[in-house]
Amino acid sequence: MKPNTGDAAPDDSNKKIGEAMEEFKQEAVRELTGVGMETEGGTMVEQPALCLVGKRKRISTQKGQDALAQIREFWAQCGEDGTLAALRGLAPDAQCFVAACHNFDTQEYDYWIAIETIEEGLEAPEGFEFLMTEESAYALFPCKGPALQSVFDRWAWVYRKWFPKGEYFHGTSPELEVYPFGDMEAEEYRSELRVPVKKVPADYYRRKRTPMKMMLLPLIGVFAGLVIGTRMGSATVGMLVGLLGGFVAATILQQIYDDKNKKKDQDEEAKK
């Protein structure tokens, strides 16, 4: 069952009105963001702190569990029991629902269905909770098509294709999904994925890279072992001993190198 958000899609006889409404809904998606900068695969923004009110469900990601099915069930439940309508009543001026993924562990996370509110500091209405987010950098990714499936597919793309490029770390703020009111199962429906990010320092990979001289130590060990082993009458044993010694030396030096960089990172962080 698709979530009933209370609005119907525009019909062909009101095409201009429908286009205007679509533009209005998409503008609502941007209301939570600052001015962004286009990057490959997304738009980077500094998103202000948010006060969200809603309900949450613990989603299991254990092997054999279908996370998307659990989320679909939660949306359907919230539509049937009046939660979605109640949320809209709590924030009459809002134009979209906000889903938040938060409180992750290795096999579970909290999935929120919420709405933005300005009622910070008050007690949450009965049956609802507040989720506060801090100002943070986010990468925004547009999604087109039936809401939950298109966002789920976009998540897969972000983790498999976008993050591995190595330009950003995943941030610590909640992951957000923005769903403008309307027919969330429509083929032309547009939603948005917001991923908390932190820019990778320019010298991060240079400092994390193993120096070439350390990589050469095992080879030097093999050569030295070969020379010594030949003189002792056992070249094979000499090579193996030299290789082992080279690896041990490289491991020790790598640890010293990593500790030095860790101390440097801590000193730089303390200065901020």
Nearest to 29 by CA among 231, 234, 191, 263: 191
Model pLDDT for residues 233-272, shown as the tens digit of each residue? 666 766 676 667 667 766 777 677 766 766 665 455 444 4
Model pLDDT for residues 93-110, shown as the tens digit of each residue? 899 999 999 999 888 999
What is the torsional sign of CA 48, 49, 53, 56? positive
Mean per-residue pLDDT, 158-170: 87
Q: Looking at the domain 12-200, which fold is it?
A: Multidrug-efflux Transporter 1 Regulator Bmrr; Chain A (3.20.80)
- Look at 23-27, 148-152, 163-167 and tell me which has the smallest mean pLDDT: 23-27
Model pLDDT for residues 28-64, shown as the tens digit of each residue? 444 444 444 444 567 899 999 999 999 999 999 988 7
Structural domain spans, the chain: 12-200, 205-271
For residues 179 and 146, the answer to whether their CB atoms sit within 8 Å is no
What letter does residue 184 receive in the DSSP assignment? T
Q: What are the start-end ranges of the E strands in 104-186?
A: 108-116, 129-133, 136-144, 168-170, 175-180
For residues 10 and 3, the answer to whether their CB atoms sit within 8 Å is no
68 three-state secondary structure:
helix
